[in-house]
Amino acid sequence: MQGQVQSGSGVKSVLLWVLLPLLAGLALATRVPRPVIGLIYLNDSIYAYTARDMISQLDYARQHPEVRGVVLVMDSPGGTVVDTEAVYLELARLRQSKPVVTMAQGMIASGAFYLSVGTDYVVAGPSAIIGNIGVISQLPPPPEVYEDLASTGPYKLFGSSRDAQLRSMEAIKQAFLQAVQLGRGDRLQIGPERLLTGEIWLGTEALRMGLVDEVGSVSQSVERAANLARVAHYRVVDLRQLAELPSAVTYFFFYETPEGVLTPYPRQPGLYLLYVPPWDGG
């Protein structure tokens, strides 16, 4: 009888001091999330809609601790100045707590390259198109006054003089150059006289010039992000899903001819960090 009592007491003791803490510990361990390397895809130009989506995903990554690092998988010719800068500044904010790696899958030109220099590490496909640093814009028309179109100032209709717009572009270009120089730092192997030509380079060339850090694949860029974040056994997740964003839609960013041919030119005049590839007119 006494043995039964002792045995019952032992079971209780095990339950109380071993099993219960272990179960509680296991339960507690589930609160330690499995790290996530989030992927943000950009397979479009950078304009209001794509920038909004990217910022939402960056914001999600910043606010969710399980996301330990982010990989921007880009294939983009760039886009508008304001949207590029908006994403760039959000990247800088995220990098204060989490590493961001760029994967140049097809093209990171102009504005997309601007974003890449705002990340910690850049991986590029061997033949990815890299560079095209600079600004493009259509200048406003020469000053004219119209009999039937009234305005309250000489630049009310078009915003600025041609000369002023050209100079604004130069200021934007200077910021772009600074972003490249600050972002790439000592890794940069070429000077501004080469950077500012607006050339594009292959991934392998860009590696020699210090514009990218490695020639590789998406998985390598994910591994790099994980290394920088110091995590293992992570999950790789498309942040669009986590952020519960709808599927990416393509807004009509590019100009379409009356015959329905999509051109590489923006639909609207403006200031762009955009690579416009040669086009034969369709």
Partner 1 sequence: MRRYRVLAAASLLILPALLRGLWYFRGFYQPAEPIRLPSFTQIEPPQPPLTPAAGTTESAGQAEDLSGKVVVIDRAHSNQFQLPELDTLTQALLTRGATLQEVNAGDEFESTSFGSSDALFAFSSRSLQTRLKYASAYVVVAPQSTFSEAEIQHVARFVSRGGRLLVVLDPTRGGGGIDIFGFVLSGSAQDVSSVNLLLEPHDLSFSNDYLYNVLENEGNFRNVFLSPGEPADLTGDLSQVVFYAARSVATRQGSAVLVGDDSTFSSSTDRGGGLAAVAASPDGRVLAVGDLTFLTPPYDRVADNSQLIQNLAAFLLGGDREQDLTDLPYLFTRPVQVLTSTAFPVQSETLQALQSLQASLTSRGLPMSLTAEPSEGHDLLVTALYEPSDETDPYLASLGLTLPADQADGLLEVPGFGALDPQGIGLLAAVQDPERTTLVVLAEDEESLARLAENVGQGFLSDCVFQGLYGLCKLGEGAGFQSEESFDFNFDFGLEEPTIELPPTIPVPLTATPPPAPLP
Given the rule CB under 8 A, which residues bind partner 1? 13, 16-18, 20-22, 24-26, 28-29, 31-32, 34-35, 68-69, 89, 92, 95-99, 120, 138, 163-164, 166-171, 174-176, 178-179, 182, 185, 192-193, 196-197, 228-234, 255, 263, 265-266, 269, 276, 281
Query: Which segments of 17-97 are extended strands (E)?
Result: 36-42, 67-76, 78-80
Q: How far is the CB of 194 from partner 1 (least distance, A)?
A: 9
Measured from the Cβ of residue 200, the count of other Cβ atoms closer than 10 Å reads 21
Closer CB to partner 1, 178 or 241, in the complex: 178
Residues 212, 217, 218, CA angle at the centre, nearest 5°?
A: 100
- CA 97 to CA 82: how far, in whole Å? 24
Q: Smallest distance, Å, CB 250 to partner 1?
A: 19
| Residue closer to partner 1, measured from CB, 2 or 96 | 96
Please state the closest distance from residue 212 (CB atom) to partner 1, in A.
16
Min dist CB 11 to partner 1, Å, is 14
Minimum CB–partner distance for residue 122 and partner 1 (Å):
14
- Residue closer to partner 1 by CB (options 105, 176) is 176
**3 state DSSP class of 104:** strand
Side-chain-facing half-sphere of 228: CA atoms under 13 Å: 24
**269 is written with which tokens?**
């005049």
Pick 128 or 135: Cβ nearer partner 1: 135
- With b for 16 or more beta-carbon neighbours within 10 A and e for fewer, the 20-53 pattern comes to eeeeeeeeeeeeeeebbbbbbbbebbbbebbbeb
Q: Which is nearer to partner 1, 43 or 263 (CB)?
A: 263
CB 280 → partner 1: shortest distance, Å? 10
Q: Please, which residue, 3 or 142, has the CB nearer to partner 1?
A: 142
The two structure tokens encoding residue 64:
């969710």
Q: How far is the CB of 143 from partner 1 (least distance, A)?
A: 10
User: Of 55 and 245, which has the nearer Cβ to partner 1?
Assistant: 55
Q: Which of 65, 57, 45, 89 is nearest to 267 (CA)?
A: 45
**Sequence-distant contacts of 229-232: CB under 8 A, at least 24 apart:** 229/35, 229/37, 229/68, 229/69, 229/98, 229/99, 231/35, 231/37, 231/68, 231/69, 232/35
- Nearest CB to partner 1, comparing residues 13 and 126: 13
- The amino acid at residue 144 is E
Nearest to 250 by CA among 77, 38, 42: 42
Q: How far is the CB of 258 from partner 1 (least distance, A)?
A: 10
Main-chain phi, psi angles of 108, to 5 degrees: -125, 90
Q: What is the rounded CA–CA span in Å between residue 59 and residue 96?
A: 13
